[in-house]
Chain A
Amino acid sequence: MEFLNFVLIFVTGVLVLRRPDKEALAFRLLLFCAALTVFLFFVGSRTSVLPPFNY
């Protein structure tokens, strides 16, 4: 999944640099990548969402 995320980030960066007319698409891809990052971190840390400290 990290591979997919970085591929999309790369594509988004290329759009920003080379195709500024695709700004809306680029921003949607950026939002998707951010959401995917949050989701993947949650998957990896869901057994203790808060830092595993004494509370």
Chain B
Amino acid sequence: MNPSDVGSGIVSGGESYVWASYAFSWFLILGYTLSLWLRTPPGEKK
């Protein structure tokens, strides 16, 4: 895609993409935190 192929004007709508981005950031951070917790040996869980 060339820069000229991108349309001009103001983007309208797109709220669902905003929600998806924020939700995914929480999903990923919490999911990775959970994976670290599960992988931590019992003696190191403090």
A binds B: no
